[in-house]
Amino acid sequence: MKVYIHNISNYYSSYYLHGLNKTADLEYTGSKEFESYNNRGFLIFEVGGKIGVVDNHDPMGVDQSLLDKVDFYFATNKVKGHDAYEKDKVFPLFPHYPIKVHKDYFKVFKLNPLFKIAPVALLKELYAQNLRTRYQDEVWDYRISNYVFFSGSIWKKEKWANELRAAFIEACRQNPKIEFEGGFVRRKDGAHGEYEHLLNTREYSPTSFAQKSRKSMITFNNPAVLGAVSWRLAESQNLGSFVLSFPFKIHLPVYPKNGEEIHYIHDKEELPEVINFISENSNYHRKIALGGKKYFERYCKPEVQARYMLDVLRGQVAPLQNSKA
């Protein structure tokens, strides 16, 4: 199947570039019409005369000019209650995460990035890609221990998200059953506020981060900047981790089911009791970890999402609209 790619996407869309490249015969068009979207968090593609776009930006609203030009606008952060996303052509996507795609990138775009992207910007893009790990379908290998790993950012404006993360770190540190590693990542501006005592003592490479996440009894998930979904979620589900999550602030086509594919909590005061419950109930832990892995394989794998979008553009399936959590 021939699919035309109209812009040079950046690493935000690496997951979807990889999925499309596994699913179809991609051809970069060098379109002048979409040249202003080069090296940004958009991936613009066409099949059967229909144009779709994946918008991988934080939930700031749609690009109206682009929305007017495409037939289907897939937003990875279609945040709830935001009027800009409540449009007929705007649809949610499933969780994803950026990956290393040098091979896909140069196979599809060939040498065009050298001529169409400023040298410094291109070097930054390739460096950002290189910080990620290559995608692979992780084999589900169940294990449980009392080890918990969490390393996350302190957001400048997301006070609520910071409070949730701090509560999780403290609940783990104070639980005598838990062997905890991690904390908040140090900010370059040193603005750690009240969380100085919860900072990491070391930095983690993407490979080390993935290895430690795989070992962790719990992966903690909460809405990120402006309510965006965390990249950590899909990566953890691919690893087959137990995901403990606050409710999503974005729309998903299908949400993970509570008590089967994920464990939701609604108040940070629940954390100590929930962590105890998980550590003492290995059967439940296994059920959620396996359920999350199956959810990932059913909906989230790069080629699965790519086929879904191409089927929508070709009129073979109706686009999935906002599901109910």
3-state secondary structure of 310: helix
Residue that has been written with the tokens 């940004």 in this structure: 40
Mean pLDDT of 45-49: 97
CATH class of 147-300: alpha beta
Q: What is the pLDDT of residue 192?
A: 87
3-state secondary structure of 274: helix
Q: Is the pLDDT of residue 141 over 90?
A: no
Q: What is the pLDDT of residue 324?
A: 64
Mean pLDDT of 237-257: 95
Q: What is the pLDDT of residue 155?
A: 85
Q: What pTM value is reported for the model?
A: 0.94
Q: Summarize pLDDT for 76-101 with one digit per residue, the tens.
A: 999 998 888 988 899 999 999 999 99
Contact assessment for residue 179 and residue 146, using Cβ atoms and an 8 Å cutoff:
yes
Give the span between the Cα atoms of 68 and 55, in whole angstroms. Answer: 14
pLDDT band at 173 (very low <50, low <70, confident <90, very high): very high
For residue 61, give every residue at least 6 positions away whose Cβ sits within 8 Å of its Cβ, in sequence order, or none: 82, 84, 85
Q: What is the pLDDT of residue 259?
A: 97
Domain ranges of the chain: 2-136+302-313, 147-300
Q: What is the pLDDT of residue 323?
A: 63
Q: What is the pLDDT of residue 325?
A: 59
- 233 residue type, one letter: L
E strands within the chain?
2-5, 25-28, 42-47, 50-55, 72-75, 90-92, 147-152, 179-184, 219-221, 243-245, 263-264
CA of residue 228 relative to chain centroid, distance: 9
Contact assessment for residue 253 and residue 299, using Cβ atoms and an 8 Å cutoff:
yes
- Chain-wide mean pLDDT for the chain? 93
Percent of the chain residues topping a pLDDT of 90:
77
Q: What is the pLDDT of residue 322?
A: 65
Read off the tokens for 235: 């990566």
Q: What is the pLDDT of residue 171?
A: 96
Q: Summarize pLDDT for 249-303 with one digit per residue, the tens.
A: 999 999 999 999 999 999 999 999 999 999 999 999 999 999 999 999 999 999 9
Q: What is the pLDDT of residue 211?
A: 87
Give the span between the Cα atoms of 49 and 290, in whole angstroms. Answer: 40
Read off the tokens for 137: 């379908």
Q: What is the pLDDT of residue 270?
A: 95
